[in-house]
């Protein structure tokens, strides 16, 4: 079945860039997503990328997609303390509408 992996933790200093990585096994997902979860809250859609794109930029967020390596990344420029949260990548399970979530990366921003 589909397997989506992320590193568990990332710590950066305020003002630096953060790069959160995600690898997946099934490359048929039409869209790939990044969600943010703050403590005790639901998931907030940050951005998504269409599978035929290599890059998408949205203000401080840049998504890079390497389909050959099945690697997705989220770069947050000028990281702020408010960016501290858990970030999940998600792909769509082939032939369904179901999401398969990564394990989540806990981003800690140090002041």
Partner 1 sequence: GAVVSQHPSRVICKSGTSVKIECRSLDFQATTMFWYRQFPKQSLMLMATSNEGSKATYEQGVEKDKFLINHASLTLSTLTVTSAHPEDSSFYICSARAQGQKGTDTQYFGPGTRLTVL
Which stretches of the chain bind partner 1, using CB under 8 A?
30-31, 33, 35, 40-45, 48, 88, 90, 92, 97-99, 101-104
Tokens 């005790």 correspond to 40
Alpha-carbon gap, residue 100 to 108, rounded angstroms? 24
Q: Which is nearer to partner 1, 24 or 35 (CB)?
A: 35
Shortest distance, position 42 Cβ to partner 1, whole Å: 4
Alpha-carbon gap, residue 88 to 54, rounded angstroms? 19
Q: Which is nearer to partner 1, 41 or 78 (CB)?
A: 41
CB within 8 Å of 1: residues ≥ 6 apart: none
Shortest distance, position 74 Cβ to partner 1, whole Å: 16
């Amino acid at each position: 079945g589909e397997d989506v992996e992320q590193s568990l933790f990332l710590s950066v200093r305020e003002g630096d860039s953060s790069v959160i990585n995600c690898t997946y096994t099934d490359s048929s997902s039409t869209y790939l997503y990044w969600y943010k979860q703050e403590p005790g809250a639901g998931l907030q859609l940050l951005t998504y990328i269409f599978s035929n794109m290599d890059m998408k930029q949205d203000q401080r967020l840049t998504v890079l997609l390497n389909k050959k390596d099945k690697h997705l990344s989220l770069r947050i420029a000028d990281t702020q303390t408010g960016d501290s949260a858990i970030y999940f990548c998600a792909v769509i399970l082939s032939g369904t509408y179901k999401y398969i979530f990564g394990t989540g990366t806990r981003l800690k921003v140090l002041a």
